[in-house]
C-alpha cells in the first residue's frame, strides 16, 4: 500500500502500511512495561545493596549526630507504633529490624540516661513531670521542634525503674540496641541524676537482615523481568519494523544506477502551515501529553533496539533491517511531535499516532546502510560525537542538561539529551528554545510566522537529528558541521561528490 507524503512539491511513495498490525504493538507494549518495571526493580535492588554496604562495621546504618536540648527534665520521642503481629527477630534466620540509639551529654562530667519502654509505662513515669516531646525534625537544614508538656513534680531515678526494655546510663556515649517488636513504644533521654536541663547529642542507627535478601530478590527479579522485557520489545520492534520497511528501493539505490544521492543520508523535512493559530502554541505542550507518554515507552524500545543492533553491527557489519526501520519510525514520530509542540510550532495539525509515514507536514527518514564499520560502533556514539554533542548542547539545550548531569557520555542518555524530547521547552536556556519562544510571541501578536526564523529553526533541528542518527549507529558518515536551513533537505548531488564525499566510513 502506498501513502502520499507531504514534501512540499510532489507525492512521496513509501510503500508503508497506513495501519500497523497489532501483534508487534502488543509485544512492544508488554515488553516495554516489563523492561521498565525490571529497570525500576533493579534500581531499587541497587539502592538496597548500597544501603546494606553503607552500614558500619558493627552492622548499623547510622544517621548524623545532632544536638537536642531542653530545659525540662526529659526528652521523649513521639510514640513509636509498630504494627501488631510483627515478631521479634528471635527464631528468624535474620533480624527483621534492630534499632540503635546513641546519646552523649554535652557535659563530659555528667552522666546521661537513655532508655526505651512501652509508651504506657513512660507516660506513667513522666505523669505530672515537666518534659519535652520531640515533635518535628527537619534534616536539611537541621531543625527540631518540641512539644512542651507541663508538670510540677520531679521524676525518680530513671535507672532505678524496672519497666525499661532497654536502657543505658553513664558518662560518654551511651547506646541501646532494641529489637523491633509490635506495640507502642517511646524513647526517653535525660540526665542520669534526674535533674532538669538535658542537652545531648543523639544519633540513630538501624540494622535489618531483610536488606540484603531484599536487595538480592529485587536484583534477580528485576534482571529477569528486564531481560524478558527487552526480548519481547526487540521482537515487537522487529515485527513493526518489517511492516515499516519501504517496499520500493530508494532513489540512488542499486536500481538507480547513477541516480542522485542526498547531501547527507538523514532526511528531515518540515513544511510550514498557514494560517496558524495565534495562541494555540501556548497549550500545545499540554495537548501533546498523550504523545509524550507513548514516546517515553518508544524511547526505551529505541535504546534497547540500538544496543542489540550495536552487537549485530560489531559482529556482522550490518544493521538488522527490521530494527533499523523501527528506530526510524520512532525518530519520525518524535520529530512530528517536536514540529507540532515545541521545537518548531510549524503546524496546528495534531500529530498522528503511528510510526509509519503519513501526509503530515513533518517527516523524517534515513537511507538504510548495506554495510557498516565493525569498529566504529565502539566509538562513534560517544568519542567521535563529542564535537557535535557540544554544539548541539548550545543549539538545542537538552544535551547540555545530559552532559552536566552525567559528567560523561552515556550510551542511552546521549540520545535522550540531544533528542527532540529535551530540546526547546524545559531543557534550560538554548538557542532553539529562545528562537521558538520568540516565534510564538510574534505569532501571538501578529498572527504571522517569520520565515527566516522558521528556516533557522529547521536548520537547528536538522543538525540535532543528524547527530541522533549518527550516535544511534544508523550511519557511518560523519554529520556535516553545517546548518542546512529551510523546510527541505539541500539539493542533491551526484554520487561521490559534494559535501558528503568526505565522510568517513
For 294-304, the pLDDT digits (tens) are 999 999 999 99
Grid cell at residue 3: 501513502
Mean pLDDT, residues 357-371 taken together: 95
Q: Could you give the CA distance from residue 26 to residue 239 in angstroms, rounded to a whole number?
A: 10
The pLDDT of residue 403 is above 70: no
Q: Which of 144-153, 239-248, 419-428 has the lowest mean pLDDT?
A: 419-428
Domains of the chain: 60-209 (2.60.120), 262-502 (no CATH)
Grid cell at residue 187: 524513647
The pLDDT of residue 93 is above 70: no
Q: Could you give the CA distance from residue 144 to residue 246 in angstroms, rounded to a whole number?
A: 67
User: Could you give the percent of the chain with pLDDT greater than 90?
Assistant: 64
The pLDDT of residue 405 is above 60: no
Whole-prediction pTM: 0.73
The pLDDT of residue 1 is above 60: no
The pLDDT of residue 271 is above 50: yes
Residue 482 pLDDT class (50, 70, 90 cuts): very high
Q: What is the DSSP letter of 148?
A: E
- What pLDDT does residue 177 have? 92
The pLDDT of residue 6 is above 70: no
Pairing of strands 131-139, 74-76: parallel
Mean pLDDT, residues 476-483 taken together: 95
In the block, cell 520500493 appears at 248
What is the sign, positive or negative, of the torsion defined by CA atoms of 212, 216, 219, 222? Answer: negative
Mean pLDDT, residues 205-224 taken together: 91
In the block, cell 540496641 appears at 177
From the list 143, 138, 125, the residue with the least C-alpha distance to 187 is 125
Q: Could you give the CA distance from residue 23 to residue 145 in angstroms, rounded to a whole number?
A: 59
Q: Which helix (H) or strand (E) holds 401?
A: helix 398-406
- What pLDDT does residue 143 have? 84
Q: What is the DSSP letter of 485?
A: -
Grid cell at residue 464: 540535532
Instruction: List the beta bridge partners of residue 68.
Output: 200
Residue 211 pLDDT class (50, 70, 90 cuts): confident
Q: Write the pLDDT tens digit of every residue in 36-78.
A: 999 999 999 999 888 887 766 567 878 889 999 889 999 999 8
Q: Could you give the CA distance from residue 53 to residue 212 in angstroms, rounded to a whole number?
A: 9
Q: Which of 198-207, 284-293, 354-363 has the lowest mean pLDDT?
A: 198-207
Mean pLDDT, residues 23-34 taken together: 95
Q: Which residue has the higher pLDDT, 463 or 5?
A: 463
Report residue 228 CA to chain centroid gap. Answer: 21
Amino acid at each position: 500500500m502506498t501513502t502520499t507524503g507531504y514534501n512540499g512539491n510532489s507525492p512521496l511513495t513509501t510503500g508503508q502500511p497506513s495501519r500497523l498490525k497489532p501483534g508487534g504493538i502488543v509485544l512492544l507494549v508488554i515488553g516495554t512495561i516489563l523492561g521498565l518495571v525490571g529497570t525500576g526493580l533493579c534500581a531499587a535492588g541497587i539502592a538496597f545493596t548500597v544501603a546494606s554496604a553503607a552500614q558500619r562495621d558493627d552492622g548499623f546504618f547510622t544517621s548524623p549526630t545532632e544536638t537536642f536540648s531542653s530545659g525540662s527534665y526529659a526528652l521523649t520521642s513521639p510514640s513509636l507504633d509498630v504494627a501488631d503481629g510483627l515478631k521479634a527477630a528471635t527464631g528468624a534466620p535474620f533480624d527483621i529490624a534492630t534499632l540503635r540509639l546513641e546519646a552523649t551529654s554535652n557535659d563530659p562530667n555528667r552522666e546521661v540516661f537513655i532508655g526505651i519502654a512501652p509508651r504506657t509505662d513512660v507516660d506513667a513515669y513522666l505523669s505530672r513531670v515537666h518534659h519535652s516531646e520531640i515533635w518535628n525534625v527537619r534534616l536539611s537544614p537541621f531543625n527540631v521542634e518540641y512539644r512542651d508538656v507541663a508538670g510540677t513534680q520531679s521524676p525518680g531515678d530513671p535507672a532505678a525503674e524496672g519497666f525499661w526494655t532497654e536502657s543505658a546510663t553513664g558518662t560518654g556515649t551511651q547506646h541501646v540496641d532494641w529489637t523491633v517488636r509490635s506495640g507502642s513504644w517511646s524513647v526517653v533521654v535525660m540526665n542520669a541524676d534526674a535533674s532538669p536541663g538535658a542537652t545531648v547529642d543523639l544519633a540513630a542507627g538501624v540494622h535489618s537482615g531483610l536488606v540484603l535478601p531484599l536487595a538480592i530478590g529485587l536484583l534477580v527479579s528485576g534482571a529477569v523481568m528486564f531481560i524478558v522485557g527487552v526480548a519481547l520489545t526487540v521482537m515487537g520492534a522487529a515485527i513493526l519494523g518489517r511492516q515499516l520497511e519501504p517496499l520500493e528501493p530508494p532513489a540512488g539505490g542499486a536500481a538507480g544506477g547513477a541516480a542522485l544521492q542526498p547531501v547527507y543520508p538523514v532526511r528531515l523535512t518540515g513544511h510550514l502551515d498557514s494560517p496558524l493559530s495565534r495562541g494555540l502554541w501556548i497549550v500545545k505542550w499540554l495537548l501533546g501529553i498523550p504523545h509524550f507518554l507513548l514516546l517515553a515507552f518508544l524511547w526505551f524500545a529505541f535504546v534497547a533496539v540500538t544496543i542489540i543492533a550495536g552487537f549485530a553491527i560489531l559482529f556482522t557489519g550490518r544493521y538488522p533491517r527490521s530494527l533499523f526501520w523501527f528506530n526510524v519510525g520512532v525518530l519520525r514520530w518524535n520529530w512530528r511531535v517536536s514540529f507540532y509542540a515545541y521545537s518548531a510550532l510549524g503546524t496546528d495539525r495534531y500529530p498522528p499516532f503511528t510510526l509509519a509515514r503519513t501526509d503530515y507536514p513533518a517527516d523524517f527518514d534515513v537511507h538504510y546502510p548495506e554495510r557498516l564499520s565493525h569498529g566504529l560502533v565502539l566509538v562513534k556514539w560517544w568519542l567521535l560525537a563529542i564535537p557535535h554533542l557540544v554544539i548541539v548542547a548550545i543549539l538545542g539545550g537538552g544535551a547540555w542538561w545530559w552532559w552536566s548531569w552525567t559528567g560523561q557520555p552515556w550510551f542511552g542518555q546521549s540520545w535522550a539529551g540531544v533528542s527532540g524530547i529535551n530540546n526547546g521547552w524545559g531543557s534550560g536556556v538554548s538557542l532553539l528554545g529562545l528562537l521558538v519562544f520568540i516565534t510564538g510571541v510574534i505569532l501571538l501578536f501578529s498572527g504571522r510566522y517569520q520565515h527566516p526564523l522558521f528556516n533557522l529553526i529547521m536548520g537547528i533541528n536538522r543538525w540535532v537529528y543528524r547527530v541522533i542518527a549518527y550516535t544511534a549507529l544508523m550511519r557511518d558518515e560523519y554529520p556535516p558541521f553545517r546548518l542546512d536551513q529551510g523546510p527541505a533537505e539541500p539539493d542533491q548531488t551526484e554520487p561521490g561528490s559534494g559535501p558528503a564525499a568526505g565522510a568517513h566510513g
